[in-house]
Amino acid sequence: MAALLGVGEVIMEQAHAPALRGGGDLVVGGAFGPVESARFVLAHVLGGPELRPRRVAASPTRRATLYLITPAAALPIAARGGIPSLERAVGDPEIAGIDAWRDEPADATWSNPRPEDILRAMDRFHPEPQSPAAGPDPIDTKSAPLGSDPFTIGDNRGFRSSWAEWLYFNGRSADGRLRVYLTFLAGGRAADGRRSALVRLQLDREGHSTNYSAAAAVDDGDVVAHAPDLDIANNHVRVDGSTYRITVALNREPAGPGLTGEIVLDAPPGRSVPPAAIHGAHGWISGYVVPVLSGGLHGTLRIGAETIPLDGATGYHDHNWGYWAGVRWQWGQVAGEGISIVFGRVFPPATVADPDRAPGVLAVLGPNGPIGFSTDVSIAEDGEGGAPRHIDVNARGSRVELHLNLSVEEVASTRMALTRLADGTMMTFLQLGGTYRVDGRAGDRTIAFTTRGSAETFR
């Protein structure tokens, strides 16, 4: 008790210290290590409209252990790194009198990050893991020749050859009669350092779907170094400021006139869900990030002499990476009345984790950034055989109480060998479109609207 009273007295003295100027310090850290998307947190959370007026200064810090090697011993040294100007702004006494410590040009990516820097940091590609269990076992190029469709790559050796990473975009017209689903996918690394890659576009008009694709081999080093800027065959993705610029030149499946076009997706600041990953046994991993939860979509698609304008459409962009053999997921996205909602759940193979214990998640973002987040989420589908007719989503949390119901109106089916089961069975991947009814609350807002949206599931 004496110790507690002593600590309390010190706290009271510090609380009256003039240096606080009526404020206090906030330390932000990752639950299991470094903050994964610190630039996003600094710029769009701490720097968002709600917190910016109350924020005096913010500075990122990285801690590590360095070793001084001497003839007699190796001496560990605790080191802390930061951005000089930001460290001074938060009043770090350690550098107050060291005039020589000044920002370098590269520090501007932290002190004044461009929207492009933030997008690239969260939308980067990941090197394939090289743990003893998970890699670097290359794909068997005899069964999966380079340049082949990665959706058909897979074998029965567990998950080690099922590494893949992709950028996914979708868009819909205001009336929902036109929908576009676009994927830039790179499979696992082969022995020669190349990866099979695919671009696939599904065009849905009035409920009728046509598919277009192109495949090529890409260099693993180039992909990891430059993505989300990607080049696959004659198709390209480029990040330009706060926009994604996409060029496509694809062949129709199985035959017919090809498709070309240019697509531009706006990436409004704050409309992102930072990266997250789940880990299982033997080095298994599945990661997900949403750089653009909702943004304006522009551009033009061309099929022969026909022109299809995209101006006025709404777009979405997410990014997945990991091992996919035996994996399935539920996912959905809807935007209305100034908010964007995304929900999902990944079911890992039973050999790496208990799929029944994998949590569902739901995030709500508004014009000024995040509103609410929940990991107490149920996603129920009716029917076991064919496509579901309805999907019910319920999310609960301290700042979220939402119910979503999707009435399914369009279904596109794909046999996906990438996620085949251990016994070789291929699941059917379903992309769904329809009308959401959304009601409940998020943050201080009461939410009630009906609009069109998307979902995904497996059978």
* E strand spans, 83-229: 163-172, 178-189, 194-205, 208-219
79 in a domain, yes or no? Answer: yes
**Tokens 């750089």 -> residue:** 291
Average pLDDT (251-275) is: 90
Residues 129 and 101 in one domain: no
For the stretch 200-228, pLDDT in tens is: 998 988 778 888 999 999 999 999 999 99
Query: If you average pLDDT over residues 4-26, what whole number do you get?
Result: 62
Domain of residue 88, residue span: 32-113
Residue 358 in any domain: the answer is: yes
Q: What's the pLDDT score for residue 344?
A: 92
pLDDT digits (tens, 9 = 90+) for 77-90: 999 899 999 998 88
In order of 114, 172, 427, 459, the CA distances from 386 in angstroms are 46, 24, 12, 7
- Could you tell me if 59 and 153 lie in one domain? no
The DSSP letter of residue 30 is: B
> How far apart, in whole angstroms, are the C-alpha atoms of residue 217 and residue 190?
10
What backbone torsions phi and psi does residue 342 show, to the nearest 5 degrees? -135, 140
Residues 265 and 389 in one domain: yes
| Residue 85 sits in the same domain as residue 168 | no
- C-alpha to C-alpha distance for 198 and 412, rounded to whole angstroms: 18
pLDDT of 10 reads 67
Rounded mean pLDDT of 276-292? 88
Do 125 and 64 share a domain, yes or no?
no
DSSP secondary structure, 215-241, as one string: EEEEEHHHHHHHTTSEEETTEEEEEET
Residues 214 and 67 in one domain: no
Domains held by the chain: number: 2
Residue ending a domain, among 97, 113, 129, is 113
Q: Is residue 25 part of a domain?
A: no
Per-residue pLDDT for 139 more than 50?
no
Average pLDDT over residues 50-65: 85
**148 and 176 housed in the same domain:** yes
* CA–CA dist 294, 233 (Å, integer): 28
Show which of 58, 91, 113 is a domain's final residue: 113
* 165 shares a domain with 313: yes
Q: 80 and 55 share a domain?
A: yes
Q: What is the mean pLDDT of residues 310-317?
A: 91
Cα distance between residue 388 and residue 68, in whole Å: 62
Residue 268 lies in a domain: yes
Q: Distances in Å between the alpha carbon of 454 and those of 268, 311, 354, 359, 417?
A: 20, 19, 27, 20, 23
95 and 122, same structural domain? Answer: no
What are 327-350's pLDDT values in tens digits?
999 999 998 888 889 999 999 988
Sign of CA dihedral 108, 319, 227, 367: negative
Interval 132-149 mean pLDDT:
39
Tell me whether residue 4 is in a domain: no
194 within domain boundaries: yes
Give the pLDDT of residue 150: 41
Q: How many Cα atoms within 13 Å fall on the side-chain side of residue 318? A: 20
pLDDT above 50 for 140:
no
Q: Which of 62, 96, 113 delimits the end of a domain? A: 113
Mean residue pLDDT across the chain:
84
106 shares a domain with 121? no
